[in-house]
Amino acid sequence: MTLKADYIGRFAPSPSGPLHFGSLVAALASYLDARSRGGQWLLRMEDLDPARESPEAADDIRATLDRFSLYWDGSVLYQSERLDAYANVLQSLRDRDLVYACDCSRTQINEIGGVYDNRCRYRSETTQPNALRVKVADEIIRFEDTIQGPQQQELLRECGDFVLLRKDGLFAYQLAVVVDDAFQNITDIVRGYDLLDSTPRQIYLQRLLGFPPPHYAHIPVAVNELGQKLSKQHFAAPINPESPGKQILAALRFLGMQPPADLGNAPPGTLLPWAIEHWDIQAVPKLANIPLEQFS
Ligand SMILES: [Zn+2]
């Protein structure tokens, strides 16, 4: 990909179902941040897990973004078509002796407190099937989140060596997202707070691979009345494609904006230019989550 610009952002949903309000907020925040800075906004389908995702859901997401006038630049990148790229990067890390096989089960890791203790680093043999983990360094990863402020994580103690290739043979999210953010020359990542905790792992991988680090901004996650992130698992209602203006207005308020009353019945084509002009990422609440009921 040859696209180069001062600002390249992206929206990268997993096509596991129709967009719900939480994913609309993430799409809108990344869109507004890109457009307000004259940047590109790309769409990537994170469709690495065929058991959870479908081409129909990906088509549905595209159609919904269209209906909301959230038009992306260029063609859509599908992670399912990028397996060779992930395999090549993984092989380069294996060649550097940075990766090893691990056959530990989730239960075993939970028994030691949920943080992997790198025990398979020092084993000469594992049984099949196994996962591949990358060795983390004993260092503190620090970064400045544009919304949430200074962040740090001690990978070795808080996370441990992490999985790049899962036991079931699928590439892990952490590997694919880092490879694709570099491939698409992404400069700025605006996404949900639930991924804040993954960011140090991604920065670590970027350093290992010599990729330039993007800027990060993590927006609050919309939660239901039980405090659960809106998701297909928690039966979040799909956004209603019949009233895109109303839902964009609610999403703008969620993001700390105060659209004037005379935009109350405006269509997306009127709302979005107003929002681009008035977007202020520092007005986004510096919170991990916000109950959806405040906005519906
Ligand atoms: Zn292990």
pLDDT recorded at residue 2: 47
Centre of ligand 1 from the C-alpha of residue 279, in Å: 46
Using pLDDT thresholds of 50, 70 and 90, give the confidence band for residue 238: confident
Centre of ligand 1 from the C-alpha of residue 16, in Å: 29
Region 178-194: mean pLDDT is 97
Centre of ligand 1 from the C-alpha of residue 176, in Å: 21
Q: What is the mean pLDDT of the chain?
A: 93
Q: Give the three-state DSSP class for 291.
A: strand
Centre of ligand 1 from the C-alpha of residue 161, in Å: 9
Centre of ligand 1 from the C-alpha of residue 95, in Å: 20
Q: Which domains does the chain have, with CATH numbers?
A: 8-83+177-295 (3.40.50.620), 96-165 (3.40.50.620)
Centre of ligand 1 from the C-alpha of residue 107, in Å: 11
Centre of ligand 1 from the C-alpha of residue 160, in Å: 11
In angstroms, the Cα distances linking 107 to 112, 121, 127, 163, 174 are 9, 19, 16, 16, 21
pLDDT recorded at residue 4: 58
Centre of ligand 1 from the C-alpha of residue 212, in Å: 30
Using pLDDT thresholds of 50, 70 and 90, give the confidence band for residue 232: low
Residue 156 CA to residue 162 CA, distance in Å, equals 10
Region 28-38: mean pLDDT is 97
In angstroms, the Cα distances linking 134 to 63, 75, 117, 175 are 38, 31, 13, 10
Q: Residue 214 corresponds to which tokens in the numbers above?
A: 């993007």
Residue type, 284: V
Region 232-242: mean pLDDT is 70
Do the strands 221-223 and 289-291 form a parallel or antiparallel pair, or are they unpaired? Answer: parallel
Lowest average pLDDT, out of 41-50, 119-128, 267-276, goes to 119-128
Angle at 193 between CA 160 and CA 203, to 5 degrees: 45
Q: Where are the extended beta strands (E) located within 88-200?
A: 99-102, 131-134, 140-145, 149-154, 162-165, 188-192
Region 267-294: mean pLDDT is 94
Tell me whether the omega of the peptide bond preceding residue 129 falls within 30 degrees of 0, making it cis.
yes
pLDDT at 32 over 60: yes
Region 119-136: mean pLDDT is 90
Centre of ligand 1 from the C-alpha of residue 63, in Å: 42
pLDDT at 295 over 70: no
Nearest to 284 by CA among 259, 252, 261: 252
Centre of ligand 1 from the C-alpha of residue 205, in Å: 19
pLDDT at 237 over 80: no
pLDDT at 252 over 70: yes
Centre of ligand 1 from the C-alpha of residue 227, in Å: 32
Region 125-130: mean pLDDT is 84
Using pLDDT thresholds of 50, 70 and 90, give the confidence band for residue 236: low
Do the strands 8-11 and 77-78 form a parallel or antiparallel pair, or are they unpaired? Answer: unpaired
Centre of ligand 1 from the C-alpha of residue 137, in Å: 17
The residue among 4 and 25 whose pLDDT is bigger is 25
Query: What are the pLDDT digits (tens) for 43-82?
Result: 999 999 999 999 999 999 999 999 999 999 999 999 999 9
